[in-house]
Structure 1
């Protein structure tokens, strides 16, 4: 009978469950385990082993719903980084890892043949029953470590020599910098690994607004940043929640956006159809880097020209839409005017009378402004926009609220 193994084999499945636990937290075991209850149970136990102390549950008529419970004010390090620090490996993987590091730790350079001979002659000779590792297996492990940046290699004649790069750098002098980096950087998981390696702990900083779930997107974001650096196209596997399925999209990534309100991250991509579209990073299951696109700089400049007129993340409209809102702002309510100045982006504010103020703006999709506009309910004297859907929805919602309170009767 196969035993439970807490090491990750398919990280995309773990990321999917983590998203369900952390963001939604209301689905039962049967709802999450669409195909296999046993697979779900194994993955749940893995997550519980990584995040002991952060798991909670509540009971309802449908059963037991598990969710993640984290207070960002009480944690100094993102607990979700733990899921990256476990990996499936074979017996040969773990054996070679420690032996190769032991051979090269003095910064000496050895060829593949020399390393192979040392492994078999100096390390395995004391074991009666052991599978002697062949040169091909060791070559693959060395090549993997060079690719990962763990080792360096150089060619001398026909031989390739492997070694550690000797860096005269006291990283402990930068402990505070690395601590901050690990929590605020888009790929802070790198800082977390460095902290573990040098036993650095964050004892000085906490963060009021900490979007810890960004950690789960680190692998996806790294590939997108790599494509941006190469000016290459990518193929996304994108999850559509309402259809409960994934679709494949080929885009040219242009820029990463982070919402200051929700903390969500988006990739702006140029589609083959000729339009720019935003994709949420937390819905991307996989990324494949494709060929370079020579039009990258031109398309990015075109997008940058539109950014000042973007309210949210929508590039759908080709023409600018106007919005004009007249507000009642009484005496000693200057804080409302300050709100318009600080939150109203590039909008223009004019005083019409002692207590009437006009706010005007041009954006590509005025409908995105509706949640912000609603925060001024009770002060709005009139609202006009070239986006008819915005006006229709606003006044319909206003009528619904009016009827809810019985037409204003007491």
Structure 2
């Protein structure tokens, strides 16, 4: 599957989840920036991916698109958005070839030429036959990701599958490992790789005839489903940061009326898009736990730039920059974020707030302030209340946190923030007035 198509399907699924089927076909296509015909083709493509993803499972584990991915995603505790990652954005020929290579190596160690013979004999007639160079490239990729290893030190090298972990562990140990991975994948950031590992362990347990109820002791209900889709670019961006490379992408801001645009490969049909072409140097990735969003912080022509990762499409790496200059820009960013609650780089301001004790033990209000209050400090404390003080870049990002304490929090300074909070609580109160 091409990268452009992968971007389209990510944006497609994000809208499908967030709207829960509220749009009809025409509205959906207009918001996404595609035709109704493309909408229908994308639906068919997603069905094909789901069927290809689950075709290797036992019949009782197989899932249809309509069962596995509903318009109302909230009915399911399983993160079904992961089927795009399971498809790995591979071409059909690559997917078939890698499956054959791993299947052959699962039985015994083989050389490159022996694996080439396996592919020649087993690949479907409608797919192109690989040459030795292609097989070596596939083996190098599988070796890099840790799936296989060279067996023996003399030429011609033989390759063997790396599944010692699964072979040497008992069934109880595998169940304990599955439970641990399940908890971590559902509670830690990022999580896609953990989900993929969990599904691999689940298949192994099912193959060893473990009871199904023993495989799923926990059920999770996650609220920020599109966060999983944002991880599509995460490791590519982190790789660019490690290599000190600039990147190029087409960006759609949260306020844009469309969230996707196809690549203009034919100049006769080139058209304006609402996305903006960006070329920047990525410096840092930040995750916002409160809203489940990923942010990319970068250096561009205008200085420090911030991007919501959900709006990034057509991502490509560009040239590398000097390491010393890269380190200088990272230091500049770090200095700007010194008093940032999240990613705000505005002017520092001191916030003082009085928190009222709940009158019970333990004092859950104080415990939460100490846990989440970052570098802020409690400067006054008595039996009735305590005063919390912190210097932050602007008040926009800290305001939702203060507001979440309800009547247990009173903003004292700055005056402008206090007035804003008073106006917002008056507006909320008006919603509950008698009709």
Relative to the length of structure 1, the TM-score reads 0.72
Matching of residue 29 in structure 1 with residue 25 in structure 2: yes
Which of structures 1 and 2 has the bigger CA Rg?
Answer: 1
* Structure with the larger strand share: 1
- How far the C-alpha of 1:83 sits from its partner, in A, is 2.7
Superposed CA RMSD in Å reads 4.4
- Unpaired runs of 5+ in structure 2? 51-64, 207-211, 259-273
1:347–1:179: structure 2 CA closer, same or farther, 3 Å change rule? Answer: closer
Q: Pick from 338, 341, 344: which aligns with 1:314? A: 344
1:109 corresponds in structure 2 to 111
Secondary structure at the aligned position of 1:296 is classed as helix
1:304–1:327: structure 2 CA closer, same or farther, 3 Å change rule? Answer: same
Q: Deviations over 1:92-133 (max 9, x none)?
A: 66775566567666323245xx7667766xx39xx9x97996
Aligned residues: 373
Q: Deviations over 1:50-76 (max 9, x none)?
A: 3433555xxxxxxxxx4422453xx4x
Distance across 2 between alignment mates of 1:8 and 1:397: 44
Alignment of 1:165-314 (within 5 A): 165=160, 167=162, 169-171=164-166, 173=169, 175-176=177-178, 177-180=180-183, 182-183=185-186, 184=188, 186=190, 187-188=192-193, 189-192=195-198, 194-195=200-201, 198=204, 202-207=215-220, 209=222, 211-243=224-256, 244=258, 245-275=274-304, 277-293=305-321, 294=323, 295-305=325-335, 307=337, 309-314=339-344
2:84 corresponds in structure 1 to 83
Distance across 1 between alignment mates of 2:45 and 2:128: 32
Larger relative contact order, structure 1 or 2 (CA cutoff 8 Å, min sep 6): 2
- Unpaired runs of 5+ in structure 1? 1-5, 57-65
1:330–1:302: structure 2 CA closer, same or farther, 3 Å change rule? Answer: same
Does the CA contact (< 8 Å) of 1:9 and 1:88 recur in 2?
A: no
Relative to the length of structure 2, the TM-score reads 0.68
Q: Deviations over 1:17-45 (max 9, x none)?
A: 11011123332221112242232123235
* Structure with the larger helix share: 2
2:134 corresponds in structure 1 to 140
Alignment of 1:322-341 (within 5 A): 322-326=350-354, 329=357, 332=360, 334-341=363-370
Distance across 2 between alignment mates of 1:39 and 1:67: 22
1:162–1:248: structure 2 CA closer, same or farther, 3 Å change rule? Answer: farther
Q: Pick from 73, 76, 81: which aligns with 1:68? A: 73
